Every structure is written in structure tokens, then in C-alpha cells.
Amino acid sequence: MALLQISEPGLSTAPHEHRLAVGIDLGTTNSLVATVRHGVAVTLPDERGRVLLPSVVRYRRDGGCEVGYAAQVSQATDPKNTIVSVKRFMGRGQRDIAHIENAPYDFVDAPGMVQLRTVAGVKSPVEVSAEILKTLRARAEASLGGELSGAVVTVPAYFDDAQRQATKDAATLAGLNVLRLLNEPTAAAIAYGLENAAEGVYAVFDLGGGTFDISILRLSRGVFEVLATNGDAALGGDDFDHRVFCWVLEAAGLSLLEPRDARLLYSKAREAKETLTAHGEAPLTARLSSGELVDLTLQSETFCRITHTLVQKTLGPTRKALRDAGLTVADVNGVVMVGGATRMPEIQRVVADFFRCDPLNNLDPDKVVALGAAMQANVLAGNKPQGEDWLLLDVIPLSLGIETMGGLVERIIPRNTTIPAARAQEFTTFKDGQTAMSIHVVQGERELVADCRSLAKFELRGIPPMTAGAARIRVTFQVDADGLLAVSAREATTGVEASVSVKPSYGLADRDIERMLRDSVEHAKDDMHARALQEATVEARRLLAAVDAALAADGTLLEDAERAEIDRSRVALAAAMESGDHRAIKRASEALNRTTEPFAARRMDVSVKRALAGQKIANFDA
Amino acid sequence: MQSHFELFGLEPGFALDRAALDRAYREIQGRIHPDRFAHAGDAERRASMQWTTRVNEAYRVLQNPLERARHLLELNGVDVALETNTAMPTEFLERQMTLREALEAASEGRDADALDALRAELGAERTRVEAQLAERIDAARDFVGAAGMVRELKFLERLDAEIASAYDSIEA
């Protein structure tokens, strides 16, 4: 075996390299990828110069698939296998999806998340989304000329835990290292705020293809602070298309349609809606498969009338967000418009009326989210020197709680709490001698469990038998910086501890992800082992670089014995990497992580102390 | 365990130097937030999340007058007994009744302007109780006496939540 090289303690091994990081806007209608190049955020085009990738995936009989424009052309001819607006199905059961009867797919109702039967087999919305992400990843890697170090993937702010988890799973499946899930309006605020050096309170009004978000942020030098967010995870441009579609059916006297005709009319409805952005009326013509001709004209007034309730639906969440932020319309300095659907003149008018000011439209509403995500990815990758970066403080959109007796919800973390956040609450047993307790985690604002979203159910077993009400079961909710929840519970009165952590049940189990990875890898005739090895190696390199940097910065915090132990783990990991065995590398990485835990905790303590010390000096100077 | 005030290098007290709190919070977050460790190993990412969680919680408590007062009382060994002690001065209860009746009327009449007025009135009431609390805690250092005022503040907070849901039902 070749001798391993070890650098002198306290010396950083390499100068900081620029890491390739991207921001991805995984949209209902279109998706984009952007990066920061020479200090400027840019969207990356495909080989034909197009930056938008239609969020459409078509599965073929041979098991392969087409993504984007190539898939979009098959919408009308192969509707069952051409999946559009898959974002609406992420983390959703069949019953949760509005207008599901109009979607031309063969749905399979699976526990937690609906699935779709295609010629290439049953596909989860996570797999479909992963195809879109893979395409964007390949585009970025070709354009940047190297493997991506990480990606920030955006989600609607009002996405619940199930939808966030599904999105993260899709990114993992696409082979992306997710640096952060970032809320879409927050991403837009970053892009807008930096571009315009904006300070003060801003509202971001984000009406996309399938989702609506309203976020209220305070922007001050170097800090983006989300004060409140609200929205509707099932309201977007698609719903306006649907209204036009229904109007067409009525006006043309059509009923039962073939899937391909429905798809065709949907496309025509969308075109008519887009035409109305700049014109007073829009022609709408289509030849159905029966030969029948639909020939209509949609007037702008008619469009406003049939979509009036949709437009009004954006105002309720807007009022709530302002109220939760403790502000009124007068406190808002500006309203940033995001999402293609905000191009509709009626939306512009209603927003201007509500906020009593002209909305800000100076950034491309289709690109602003991806650009903001790219800027954040650049910061998270560590490409920006300290002092030039910024602090982002975001919140959870919906309250988290658990079910108590009588089907009532006990709220544990209220909505608009700044993340990361943790809260614990004690519960007790209902019956004498009760040794197990079922814990049902829910998300939402309603009092009754039945009206909230069920996230996970798990059982805490091994509670020592006691009289009713004597046990003390402490349930802890931890929400991380991605807005994802982990729940644990333990009984503490007797010193007997039982604890369990859950990954919410609708998401994919790790083994599902492994299976999907295997399937996709086999399909590409790639070597499963090679991929596992590569991933473990990349992860190990990342870890070693991080530990080296930490040692270089704060190595003096360690006792000699501790330092020696960490050095042993580092050497062991380096040796494992030489071995070419991905399991050994994983084990050695985990061991190094464990060894560095006390060091990491101490570094944070010291950081807090330094922060306060810096404060005192600053105050003294002033 | 360190008090929330110590964490930010502040003197414990009901009167709050909001600017100093915000400065310290941002300074600390700037160094320990998970966004600073997105590329670090598991151990550091976990430590960063735990610390940030703690700092966020402390910041939340100190920003909120009710929670801040409760924390101060706890530090001084006084249990506010929010759940168990519901005794209130008659005068306070009578004012509460009036506010509640006004809320019901506004709710039934779906009258957003009346809710706005009610909210303003409640805001004034809170400011009054908070001023009393500041006097009790910071000047008189009467923590036991302050407990009753904290309970009053809790009452007002509940009413505020009810006003919020009244808005929701009017707007629905």
C-alpha cells in the first residue's frame, strides 16, 4: 500500500477552491437551474439556448423517458404517460388532490403519496420530479464543466412537511447534494433585495403554476428575516386554466372527453389565458379527435368573471400573513411579484389595490426564484468571504402538533416560528398500567385532527406500568433549517427511557430510495457499486476538508489526547478511501463524525462567546 | 443552565434594550447558523442546529413580553401557575367581559372595523399591563406580585388569538 500523506497539524491542506453550486427552481409548470458566475447570478440554458425546462416527463415503453420540451409535444398524443404539473402530487394522497378527475393519468392510491401507472411501470411523483432534477443537473454539469458540489432546491413556502420531504427525496434520487430547501418567496426576496439594495418591510406575492405563497420579510443590511408566511399549496395558474377549460366545455356544449382532447383543450385554455395578458380578447380554436371543431373567443371580462373567486382567494392568506407579522398595509415598503401567473393584469390590479402601491415587476417573475436560490447556494457552498455573505432567517408555514384525547390537536410549534426550532411537551397515560402510547403527528391550523394533515404515527413502547396520569412522556419536535421535522418521545419518571425518532410516514423510506436508485442505475447500465463508492468517497472528502478546516481554525481548543483521537480517525478514513470499499468508507466517516462531536460542540460555544465579545468591543468603540 | 439574558450578554430585566438584543442575536446567528455549516460534517451540522435552536428559542422568549416576564419570574423562583391559578381581580375581569362581549358582537355582525377598534383597545390594555409589570419587576423587584400581572397578560393574549380567529372567519 502506498504511504499516506498527512499535513502538518494546524495547516490547512488546500487553498479554498470554488465549489460548483446551483439553485434549482422545481416549478409546477417550468423548472430552471441557475448559478453564480464571476459574482453574477445567471440562469443556465440548454444546448438550444432555452432556460425554461417544462416540468413534463414522458415515459416510454422501453423504460426510458423524455423530459421538458421533448416530452411536452406528446402531451396531447400520449397523455397517460406524459406527466405534467407533477408538483401537485408531491407528498399528496389521492384524496388531497383537487380536480384529480380531470387529470388523464392512471392513478394508483398508495399509502401517503399517490402513484402513477405508466408504460414504464408505476412511478412515484418523487421519481418523476427526480427526472426533471436529473435533467437540470446534467445541464448544469455540462455548462459548468464539473461535478456539482451542492444545490439549493426551492419549495413553495406553504408546502407542508410531507411535500418538503418528497422534494428532498427527489433531489437525493437525482444524485444532488441538497445544501438547503429554500422557500420560493424567500429566494425571490434575496434576488430582489440584493439587486436593489432594498431595506425595510417587503411582501413577496408569489403565484406560480400550482401554488400561492405570500411572505412578509424585513430586509436590513446583511439580514433577510421572514416575519410571516401564508398561502395556498393548491392555488395557481393551473386553476385559472381549469376555469377556462370548464368555460370551453360549457360554451361549446361538450361533455365526456377523451384524455387527449382534454389535454388539447387545457393547452388551448392556457394559451388563451396568456394571450389575455396583452390583449382584450383571445381566440380559442381546437379540432377534437371526433373531428368536431371548437371555435370560441374569450373576452377579458369573461375571463375576469370566471376567475374572480380565484383572484380573491389570494387575499385571505395575504391578510393573515400581515396580521401574523403584526403589521398593516401601511408598513409595507414594496410588493415583489413572483411567478408567471402574476402576469395576469387582474392579479396586478388586485394586488396594487390591496397594498395601495404599484407592485414591483422589475425582475423576470419566471427567473427570480432560481436566481435567488443560486445566490444562496453560492453562500452555502462557502464561496463568499465572511462579511460579504448574509444571514437568512426563515419560518415554518404551518403549526405542528400531536393528537390528544377526543381527536383534538395540541399545538407544539406554532406557525411562523423561526427555524431551526425545537419544542417539547409532556403528556401522560390515560389508563392504569398503560405501557404503550400512540403518537400521531399532525400539521395545520385547525382544532380537529381530522382537519389537519397527518404527518406520522408511531408508538412509544416500554412505558413502565403506572397509575393513569403518573407517567411523564416528553415529546420533542425538532424542525431543521430545511423546515423538516423530526419527532422523538421518551418516558422519564422512572429513569427508564424509550425513545424513537421518526421520519414522517408519507415520505419514502430509505430503502425505497435505495431501490429507486438501483432501478435507475440498472437502467443506465451503470455499476451500482461504482456509484456507491463514488458517493461515499465524495462524502468522505467533504468531511475531511471540513474537519481540516475546523482544526486549522480552532485546533487549540483540543487537549492533546482529543487531538490524537481525531487524527487517528482522519488517518483511518484516509486509509478506508484507499481500500475502495464503500462500506468501510461510510463506517470510517461515521467514526470521524462521532469523534469530532465534542469538538464541534465546543467550537459553537466559543463562536457564541466570540460573537458577544465582538459585540462588547463594538459597543465600547461606539 | 445559562439564562436567556446571559446568552445574549444582557442584564436580566423586564425593560428590554431591543436594539442590543437584535444586535447580539444577529451577531451570534452570523457565526453559528446552519447556513454557515452547509458543507461541514454531520457533527458540526448537528451542533450548529442545536445551538441555533437554543438561540432562536431564547430570542423568541425575550421578544415576547409575557414570555420574558415568565422567564424572569422563573429565574427568581416564582411559578406563574398559568394553568392552575385563575383568580383575577374583579375590576380586571369586568373589563374582560366587556371586551369579550364586543368581540362577540363584532364577530356576529362580521364587522372588521369593530375588530380593528377592539384590537387597538386590547393593544392599549396590554401596554398598560406591561408598564405595570416593568414597575413591579424592575423597580419594586416584587416577583410574587408580578405573577398576577403575567396572568392578566396571558388573558389578553388569549383574547388577541380569539380576535385573530374572528378575522379569519369573517374573511373566509
> Mind listing the pLDDT tens digit for each residue in A50-98?
999 999 999 999 989 999 999 998 888 898 999 999 999 999 888 888 7
**Chain B contact present for A584, CB below 8 A:** no
Q: What is the pLDDT of residue B89?
A: 82
- Whether residues B43 and A596 touch (CB distance < 8 A) is answered with yes
Q: In what order do the strands lie in the sheet with A115-118?
A: A106-108, A115-118, A121-123
What grid cell was written down for B141?
A: 423587584
Q: What is the pLDDT of residue A621?
A: 46
Q: How far is residue A613's CA from residue A600's CA, in Å, rounded to a whole number?
A: 20
CATH of the domain at B161: 1.20.1280.20
Phi first, then psi: give them for residue A199, nearest 5 degrees. -130, 145
- Amino acid of residue A399: S
**Chain B contact present for A488, CB below 8 A:** no
Within a domain: residue B70? no
Q: Please tell me which residue in A46, A66, A78, A87 is annotated as part of the active site.
A: A87
Task: Give the 3-state secondary structure of residue A444.
Answer: coil
Does the pLDDT at position A610 exceed 60? Answer: yes
DSSP-derived secondary structure for A129-194 = HHHHHHHHHHHHHHHHTS---EEEEEE-TT--HHHHHHHHHHHHHTT--EEEEEEHHHHHHHHHHH
Q: Is residue B88 within 8 Å of residue B152, measured between CB atoms?
A: yes
Confidence of residue A507 (pLDDT cuts 50, 70, 90): very low
Q: Encode B139-168: b = buried (16+ Cβ within 10 Å), e = exposed.
A: eeeebeebbbbbbbbbbbbebeeebeebbe
Average pLDDT in the A588-595 region? 92
Contacts of A545 in chain B (CB under 8 A): 39
Within a domain: residue B159? yes
Cα(first)–Cα(last) distance of chain B, in Å?
45
Confidence of residue A513 (pLDDT cuts 50, 70, 90): low
Strands A53-54 and A30-37: antiparallel
Task: Give the 3-state secondary structure of residue A58.
Answer: strand
Contacts of B168 in chain A (CB under 8 A): 320
What grid cell was written down for A104?
A: 388523464
pTM to 2 decimal places? 0.88
Of A219, A216, A195, A232, nearest to A372 (Cα)?
A195
Q: How far is residue B35's CA from residue B37's CA, in Å, rounded to a whole number?
A: 5
Q: How far is residue A463's CA from residue A469's CA, in Å, rounded to a whole number?
A: 12
Cα distances (angstroms) measured from residue A336 to each of A314, A347, A384: 15, 13, 26
HEC string for A506-522: CCCCHHHHHHHHHHHHH
Residue A25 designated active-site: yes
Within a domain: residue B134? yes
> Both B52 and B116 in a single domain?
no
What grid cell was written down for A7?
A: 499535513
Residue A184 designated active-site: yes
Of A151, A223, A155, nearest to A193 (Cα)?
A223
- Whether residues B39 and A542 touch (CB distance < 8 A) is answered with yes
> Both B95 and B147 in a single domain?
yes
Q: What is the pLDDT of residue A505?
A: 46
Contacts of A419 in chain B (CB under 8 A): 56
Which has the minimum average pLDDT: A24-38, A449-463, B113-127? A449-463
> Both B97 and B55 in a single domain?
no
- pLDDT (tens digit, 9 = 90+) per residue, A243-302? 999 999 999 988 878 888 888 898 899 999 999 999 999 999 999 988 899 999 999 999
What grid cell was written down for A554?
A: 480552532
Q: What total number of domains does chain B contain?
A: 2
Q: How far is residue A348's CA from residue A185's CA, in Å, rounded to a whole number?
A: 17
Within a domain: residue B83? no
Confidence of residue A514 (pLDDT cuts 50, 70, 90): low
Q: How far is residue B150's CA from residue B133's CA, in Å, rounded to a whole number?
A: 8
Q: How far is residue A299's CA from residue A279's CA, in Å, rounded to a whole number?
A: 9
* Per-residue pLDDT tens listing for chain B (172 residues): 689 999 999 999 999 999 999 999 999 999 999 999 998 888 999 999 999 999 999 999 999 999 999 999 999 999 887 767 777 888 888 888 888 898 999 888 888 889 889 989 999 999 999 999 999 999 999 999 999 999 999 989 989 888 988 888 887 6
Q: How far is residue A548's CA from residue A546's CA, in Å, rounded to a whole number?
A: 5
Query: Residue A267, Cβ neighbours under 10 Å: how many?
Result: 17
Domains plus CATH for chain A? 22-198+365-387 (3.30.420.40), 237-310 (3.90.640.10), 400-502 (2.60.34.10), 527-608 (1.20.1270.10)
Q: How far is residue A220's CA from residue A464's CA, in Å, rounded to a whole number?
A: 52
- Ranked by mean pLDDT, which of A3-7, A111-115, B132-136 comes out on top? B132-136
Which has the minimum average pLDDT: A236-245, A484-493, A543-552? A484-493
Range of the domain at B94: 90-171
Per 3-state DSSP, chain A is made up of helix, strand and coil in percentages (nearest 5) of: 40, 25, 35
> Both B37 and B95 in a single domain?
no
Q: Is residue A480 within 8 Å of residue A420, measured between CB atoms?
A: yes
Does the pLDDT at position A15 exceed 60? Answer: no
- pLDDT (tens digit, 9 = 90+) per residue, A186-230? 999 999 988 888 899 999 999 999 999 999 999 998 899 999 999
Q: What is the pLDDT of residue A581?
A: 87
Does the pLDDT at position A3 exceed 70? Answer: no
Q: What is the pLDDT of residue A525?
A: 45
Q: How far is residue A236's CA from residue A402's CA, in Å, rounded to a whole number?
A: 30
Which has the minimum average pLDDT: A48-62, A313-327, A383-397, A505-519? A505-519
Average pLDDT, chain A: 88
- Ranked by mean pLDDT, which of A355-359, A573-577, B94-98 comes out on top? A355-359
Confidence of residue A506 (pLDDT cuts 50, 70, 90): very low
CATH of the domain at B48: 1.10.287.110
Minimum CA–CA partner of B42 in chain A: A593
